[in-house]
Amino acid sequence: MPINILMPALSPTMEKGNLAKWLKKEGDTVKSGDVIAEIETDKATMEVEAVDEGVLAKIVVPEGTADVPVNQVIALIAGEGEDPKSVTAPPGGGAPAPAPKAEASAAPAAAPAAQANTVQGDANAHLSYARVDQAPAGPAQGARPNGAGQQAGGGRVFASPLAKRIAREAGIDIASIQGSGPHGRIVEKDVRAALQSGGAKPAAAPAAAAAPAPAPKPAQAPALAPSMGADQVKAMFEAGSYEEVPLDGMRRTIAKRLVESKQTVPHFYLSLDCELDALMALREQINAAAGKDKDGKPAYKLSVNDFVIKALAIALQRVPNANAVWAEDRILRMKHSDVGVAVAIEGGLFTPVVRKAEQKTLTAISAEVKDMAGRARNRRLKPEEYTGGSTAVSNLGMYGIKDFQAVINPPHGTILAVGAGENRVVVKNGAPAVVQAMTVTLSCDHRVVDGALGAELLAAFKQLIENPMGMLV
Amino acid sequence: MANQYDIIVIGGGPGGYVAAIRAAQLGFKTAVVEREHLGGICLNWGCIPTKALLRSAEIYHYMEHAKDYGLSAQGIGFDAAAIVQRSRGVSGRLNGGVGMLLKKNKVDVIWGEAAISKPGEVVVTAPKKPAMQPQHPTPKGVLEPGTYQAKHIIVATGARPRALPGIEPDGKLIWTYFEAMVPPSMPKSLIVMGSGAIGIEFASFYRTMGADVTVVEVMPQIMPVEDAEIAALARKRFEKQGMKILTGAKVTKVEKGANSVTATIDDGKGGTLTITAERMISAVGVVGNIENLGLEKIGVKIERGVVVTDGLGRTNVHGIYAIGDVAGAPMLAHKAEHEGVLCVETIKGLHTHAMDKGKIPGCTYCNPQVASVGLTEAKAKEQGYDIRVGRFPFVGNGKAIALGEPDGMVKTIFDKKTGQLLGAHMVGAEVTEMIQGFVIAMNLETTEEELIHAVFPHPTISETMHEAVMDAYGRVIHM
């Protein structure tokens, strides 16, 4: 029997991913631990390691394929003594995939469990896994749109008759439910659990309309305003006057998250000018004092942004009520200042998080941001490196932007938009004076941070920026 | 290390030996400790030998009714000793079979009584309990008593007859199933205390063999776990066969004569009556064998006389497991077997689900047979279900009429809201072989729709199952 290599779930919430690249060809010998493919998910690119040994007999999903559901067969490995040529792809390019153990348990347990290389109930289906050491902290999901009960391509849903009937009568889409029965079959208790948690998608309109039962509690986000479909948009332009660019995982996530943010998070904005003379002088002094490394380069070179991160981190400690995120029925107030840093990359952006920034030295923050930004550009960040935090810094000063308002990256409570530092004429002691200054704008989630609280945070930030020695002690 | 095992199973009954074979299949070095008989009560003194006895009774019954089938038979009689001998032979053959299966799977058998000295260690001593006679020969190649080590110890020690204070079985006048299985001669009259599966099967056997049988049941219906309607139908048949049945009644006192027992019975309505019979069978349930195993010493949690487990055989003490009767109700061989497999697969780290005890079938092999799975009508209502009930009598079934078995009924219970099959109950010929159909249906979570759409073979008694489903939805054909 050939061994199935399945599309791995790289995080507990992952539903599908793009098969970015095959690193082995058909006919190649693979050993356990060999990196065989790269998968592009929400934001990151991950390596898929082989769990089994043999000859890569058949690549079922070619590279460049988008939206491959988790657990779909992506390749086949011929076992010992098998002729790789005789190995054929399963019908329809996919196979009903057994549910990995991981899915049944809560999120934190998910990733380690996913590394167990056997899938229950089917000795031949082996789970590949990615180099993910830790699951990102995320809500456990009671439902996901390509449940293991569903065959790739929206085909047959493996569910018990009773499960199907209860789902139908409750007006929910059974395919959105995760099955816990044999081979991932959706059984009664899965549907009941989904109904209870509200973690199932409503069924398509006709079915829902036909169901007299009260609609189940909608999942998290309220209904979004429908936007135009691709055909509608294309109809407005002359054919051939544009190039169609397919969406990658990152673009899709940016679109989803920021629409969600602008539609569900009540934003308001606070702007403030900060004088930078003292900070620039201090920065020059510190950078001048940097020792040389073995290549003769300075050991560090602090940027204004490093100071901004540090100042925001300390300000959050001074105004702890603003160091918080909205969690539907409660607010989570953070103990440490985990500050995200928006990093523009080819085709999108990442927001890696500097953890406990209030405790870190400027040089440590600088080095960390440099390392994460570099890896972000290569799409080599781990999910846990860009998950979490209560705020973020978005700096467009290097483009000469004077000021702007950033969109909050949910579930953050705030985001700080930083404009360019420039010479400005201000009135000092009744006389015009030239100072270096920059404008910062804090976007606040009003559910968490009210106007006065946001102003307090921004005032604390300004105080630190204008008196930067306070950041060193 | 010769005395070192991955898994030691204490008890070679249906739970224990099946667990041991499954363990061996999964690559564990496994041993079973048994003090008396491989195959346990089930195979030696329970399920199997009673089926042999009941088969003799069934054939005797047919012979007596040969005329009904156009046959003639004269001089019909029986040889009690030969009937018992056949029953012992059936048991002995299967007992030897278990030994062979264990050997084939390279499971060692240690002969003696086991106690857990500490987690990971079992001390086996020579059997102290006098073995019930006649005994099958001890299997060849068993290991001697001694100290044995095992990473995992599975307690599968089963259960034994419960004794009521003042009415303790003496093995001569008051029998348990042990003595009732090997009567030296057929008693002319018999009192059966308890109408559960064991009581009613012996009552049915002895009545068919001609004894004057009185059944005394403390609950308001016979076979108290069964659906009331089914039990009432069975009772009517038993009474037609001449069995006397007292329900809601209690034996309060027993006086023993030289060759008789006189029972004083509280009839539950304020009256008292006395019945004298040659023998009495005490069939008032079984209790788990939890004693002398060292369980208390190592802190294994025991509640209401059974070992507490997590549904996958794990006790509160790491490395100690319990399955079968000793781990609680329902005390049935098929539950024990399934639990044994689950337990071993859990040890292996395979993905296991705790058994759904609501879907374990029960069978009683009296005449007529009774079989059921799931909720009774009363239980379903009690649990708040809005139900649909379907019924179909055997008189509407061609095969049953051809067999001359028109007395029977199938009853189905569905959840009105979802169409879920909540329970199925049957009384009549061959129903113990049919119930599995509904067991599979329930485990696959079928609704009435799939059952209605399924094609049942004609002519079979199983068509009554189909009709009983259709009846619940007003679509019955042959009635």
**Nearest residue in A to B414, CA atom:** A162
Residue A368 sits in a domain whose CATH number is 3.30.559.10
Q: Picking from A140-154, B49-63, B312-326, which range would have the lowest pLDDT averaged per residue?
A: A140-154
Dump pLDDT digits (tens) for B222-231. 999 999 999 9
Q: Is residue B376 a part of any domain in this protein? A: yes
What's the whole-number mean pLDDT along residues A74-92? 68
This complex has an ipTM of: 0.76
Last residue of a domain, one of A185, A202, A217: A217
Instruction: Tell me which residue in B351, B417, B445 faces A188 most closely, judged by beta carbons.
Output: B445
Please indicate, yes or no, whether residues A289 and A417 belong to a single structural domain of this protein: yes
Last residue of a domain, one of A182, A217, A252: A217
Percent of chain B past pLDDT 70, that is, above it, reads 100
Residue A86 sits in a domain whose CATH number is 2.40.50.100
Q: Given a cut of 80, is residue A9 above it in pLDDT?
A: no
Please indicate, yes or no, whether residues B251 and B308 belong to a single structural domain of this protein: no
Please indicate, yes or no, whether residues A385 and A303 belong to a single structural domain of this protein: yes
Domain count of the fold of chain B? 3
- Angle, helices B197-208 vs B47-64, to 10°: value is 30
DSSP B139: P
Q: Is residue A284 a part of any domain in this protein? A: yes
> Does the beta-carbon distance from A121 to B418 stay under 8 Å?
no
The distance between the two most distant Cα atoms of chain A, rounded to a whole number of Å, is: 90
> Does the beta-carbon distance from B447 to A121 stay under 8 Å?
no
Last residue of a domain, one of B225, B254, B284: B284
Q: Given a cut of 90, is residue A143 above it in pLDDT?
A: no
String of DSSP letters for B422-447: EEEEEESTTHHHHHHHHHHHHHTT-B
Please indicate, yes or no, whether residues B9 and B93 belong to a single structural domain of this protein: yes
pLDDT band at A66 (very low <50, low <70, confident <90, very high): confident
- Which residue range forms the structural domain that includes residue B266? 174-284
Please indicate, yes or no, whether residues B145 and B223 belong to a single structural domain of this protein: no
| Average pLDDT value for chain A | 79
Q: Is residue A346 a part of any domain in this protein? A: yes
Q: Picking from A16-25, A121-130, A167-176, A408-417, which range would have the lowest pLDDT averaged per residue?
A: A121-130
Please indicate, yes or no, whether residues A212 and A356 belong to a single structural domain of this protein: no
Q: Is residue B308 a part of any domain in this protein? A: yes
Please indicate, yes or no, whether residues B85 and B190 belong to a single structural domain of this protein: no
Instruction: Tell me which residue in A101, A121, A160 faces B445 most closely, judged by beta carbons.
Output: A160
What's the whole-number mean pLDDT along residues A33-61? 80
Structure tokens at B258: 């030289």
Dump pLDDT digits (tens) for A350-383. 899 999 999 999 999 999 999 999 998 888 888 8
Q: Given a cut of 80, is residue A200 above it in pLDDT?
A: no
**Nearest residue in B to A102, CA atom:** B351
Task: Please tell me which of A26-30, A222-226, B448-452 the model is most confident about, judged by mean pLDDT.
Answer: B448-452
Q: How much is the CA Rg of chain A, to the nearest whole Å?
A: 26
Identify the three-state secondary structure at position A412: coil
Q: Given a cut of 60, is residue A151 above it in pLDDT?
A: no
Q: Is residue A240 a part of any domain in this protein? A: no
CB A434 within 8 A of CB A425: yes
Please indicate, yes or no, whether residues B340 and B379 belong to a single structural domain of this protein: no
Structure tokens at B118: 């500490």
Please indicate, yes or no, whether residues A322 and A443 belong to a single structural domain of this protein: yes
Last residue of a domain, one of B256, B284, B312: B284
Peptide bond into B139 cis (omega under 30): no
| Average pLDDT value for chain B | 96
Tokens 């960040």 found at: A381
Q: Is residue B478 a part of any domain in this protein? A: no
pLDDT score, position B1? 60
Q: Given a cut of 70, is residue A218 above it in pLDDT?
A: no
Please indicate, yes or no, whether residues B422 and B435 belong to a single structural domain of this protein: yes
Distance CA A428, CA A434 (A): 9
Q: Given a cut of 80, is residue A163 above it in pLDDT?
A: yes
Q: Is residue B168 a part of any domain in this protein? A: no
Residue to mutate among A165, A168, A190, A192, with most B CBs inside 10 A, is A165
Q: Is residue B169 a part of any domain in this protein? A: no
Q: Is residue A231 a part of any domain in this protein? A: no
Q: Given a cut of 70, is residue B38 above it in pLDDT?
A: yes
Q: Is residue B57 a part of any domain in this protein? A: yes
A429's CB contacts (< 8 A; 6+ apart) are none
Distance CA A398, CA B450 (A): 68
Please indicate, yes or no, whether residues A136 and A200 belong to a single structural domain of this protein: no
**Nearest residue in A to B444, CA atom:** A160
pLDDT band at A8 (very low <50, low <70, confident <90, very high): confident
> Does the beta-carbon distance from A161 to B351 stay under 8 Å?
no
Q: Given a cut of 60, is residue B245 above it in pLDDT?
A: yes
**Parallel/antiparallel/unpaired status of strands B108-111 and B30-34:** parallel
Please indicate, yes or no, whether residues B343 and B372 belong to a single structural domain of this protein: no
CB B323 within 8 A of CB B339: yes
The distance between the two most distant Cα atoms of chain B, rounded to a whole number of Å, is: 69
Cα angle B45-B50-B52, degrees, rounded to a multiple of 5: 120
Task: Please tell me which of A73-77, A222-226, B467-471 the model is most confident about, judged by mean pLDDT.
Answer: B467-471
Please indicate, yes or no, whether residues A82 and A123 belong to a single structural domain of this protein: yes
Identify the three-state secondary structure at position B268: coil
Q: Given a cut of 70, is residue A402 above it in pLDDT?
A: yes
Task: Please tell me which of A26-35, A113-122, B56-65 the model is most confident about, judged by mean pLDDT.
Answer: B56-65
pLDDT score, position A203? 65
Q: Picking from A31-40, A207-216, A395-404, B372-381, which range would have the lowest pLDDT averaged per residue?
A: A207-216
- Which residue range forms the structural domain that includes residue A402? 265-471
pLDDT score, position A182? 80
Contacts of B419 in chain A (CB under 8 A): 162, 165
Identify the three-state secondary structure at position B50: helix
Using the Cβ of A120 and the Cβ atoms of chain B, whether some distance falls under 8 Å is answered with: yes
Query: Could you tell me where the beta strands, DSSP code E, fall in A177-311?
Result: 267-275
Counting other chains too, the contacts that B401-408 makes at CB distance below 8 Å and 24 or more residues apart are B402/B459, B403/B429, B403/B461, B404/B65, B404/B68, B404/B69, B405/B368, B405/B429, B405/B430, B405/B461, B407/B233, B407/B237, B407/B368, B408/B368, B408/B461, B408/B464
pLDDT score, position A179? 86
Please indicate, yes or no, whether residues B116 and B26 belong to a single structural domain of this protein: yes
Please indicate, yes or no, whether residues A333 and A393 belong to a single structural domain of this protein: yes
Active site residue B458: yes
Tokens 């069995």 found at: B243
pLDDT band at A149 (very low <50, low <70, confident <90, very high): very low
CB atoms within 10 A of CB A471: 19
Q: Given a cut of 60, is residue A188 above it in pLDDT?
A: yes
Using the Cβ of A465 and the Cβ atoms of chain B, whether some distance falls under 8 Å is answered with: no
Please indicate, yes or no, whether residues B277 and B322 belong to a single structural domain of this protein: no
Distance CA B308, CA B301 (A): 6
Last residue of a domain, one of B227, B253, B284: B284
What's the whole-number mean pLDDT along residues B425-429? 98
* CA-to-CA separations, A325 to A269, A316, A322, A447, in angstroms, rounded: 17, 12, 9, 9
A356's CB contacts (< 8 A; 6+ apart) are A336, A337, A338
Q: Is residue A38 a part of any domain in this protein? A: yes
Q: Is residue B167 a part of any domain in this protein? A: no
**Nearest residue in A to B350, CA atom:** A120
Instruction: Tell me which residue in A161, A163, A169 faces B450 most closely, judged by beta carbons.
Output: A161
Distance CA A309, CA A365 (A): 8
What's the whole-number mean pLDDT along residues B372-376? 98
Dump pLDDT digits (tens) for A451-461. 999 999 999 99
Q: Given a cut of 60, is residue A315 above it in pLDDT?
A: yes
Identify the three-state secondary structure at position B338: helix
Please indicate, yes or no, whether residues B26 and B122 belong to a single structural domain of this protein: yes
Dump pLDDT digits (tens) for B77-106. 999 999 999 999 999 999 999 999 999 999
String of DSSP letters for A369-400: HHHHHHHHHTT---GGGSS--SEEEEE-GGGT
Closest CA to A129 of A147, A110, A148: A110
CB B16 within 8 A of CB B340: yes
Q: How close does chain B come to A188, measured CA to CA in Å?
A: 7
Instruction: Tell me which residue in B350, B418, B449 faces A166 most closely, judged by beta carbons.
Output: B418
Q: Is residue A76 a part of any domain in this protein? A: yes
Contacts of A121 in chain B (CB under 8 A): 351
Selected residue with higher pLDDT from A472 and B347: B347
- Cβ burial of B67 (10 Å; 0-12, 13-18, 19+) is exposed
Please indicate, yes or no, whether residues B190 and B268 belong to a single structural domain of this protein: yes
What's the whole-number mean pLDDT along residues B417-429? 96
Structure tokens at A97: 């995939």
Please indicate, yes or no, whether residues A405 and A324 belong to a single structural domain of this protein: yes
Please indicate, yes or no, whether residues A342 and A447 belong to a single structural domain of this protein: yes
Please indicate, yes or no, whether residues B234 and B89 belong to a single structural domain of this protein: no
pLDDT score, position A81? 67
Distance CA A389, CA A372 (A): 15
Selected residue with higher pLDDT from B191 and A99: B191
Please indicate, yes or no, whether residues A77 and A197 belong to a single structural domain of this protein: no
Selected residue with higher pLDDT from A104 and A91: A91
| Phi, psi values for residue A29, rounded to 5° | -85, 130
What's the whole-number mean pLDDT along residues A28-51? 78
pLDDT score, position A175? 84
**Consecutive H or E run containing B265:** strand B261-266
**Nearest residue in B to A161, CA atom:** B446
Domain count of the fold of chain A? 3
Q: Is residue A232 a part of any domain in this protein? A: no
pLDDT score, position B260? 96
Last residue of a domain, one of A141, A173, A204: A141
Closest CA to A190 of B345, B445, B423: B445
| Active-site choice (A183, A267, A336, A446) | A446
Q: Which residues of B touch A (CB under 8 A)?
A: 350-351, 417-420, 444-447, 449-450
Dump pLDDT digits (tens) for B205-222. 999 999 999 999 999 999
pLDDT score, position A211? 38
Q: Is residue A251 a part of any domain in this protein? A: no
Identity of the amino acid at A117:
N
Please indicate, yes or no, whether residues A307 and A329 belong to a single structural domain of this protein: yes
Dump pLDDT digits (tens) for A275-310. 999 999 999 999 998 888 888 888 889 999 999 999
Residue B59 sits in a domain whose CATH number is 3.50.50.60
Distance CA A74, CA A64 (A): 12
Residue B420 sits in a domain whose CATH number is 3.30.390.30
pLDDT score, position A128? 35
Please indicate, yes or no, whether residues A121 and A156 belong to a single structural domain of this protein: no
Contacts of B449 in chain A (CB under 8 A): 161
Selected residue with higher pLDDT from A437 and B352: A437
CB A147 within 8 A of CB A178: yes
Contacts of B445 in chain A (CB under 8 A): 160-163, 187-188
Q: Is residue B479 a part of any domain in this protein? A: no
Contacts of B446 in chain A (CB under 8 A): 160-162
* CA-to-CA separations, A295 to A291, A298, A375, in angstroms, rounded: 11, 9, 22
Structure tokens at A399: 């483009």
Contacts of A162 in chain B (CB under 8 A): 418-420, 445-447
pLDDT score, position A93? 41
* CA-to-CA separations, A322 to A278, A313, A416, in angstroms, rounded: 26, 11, 13
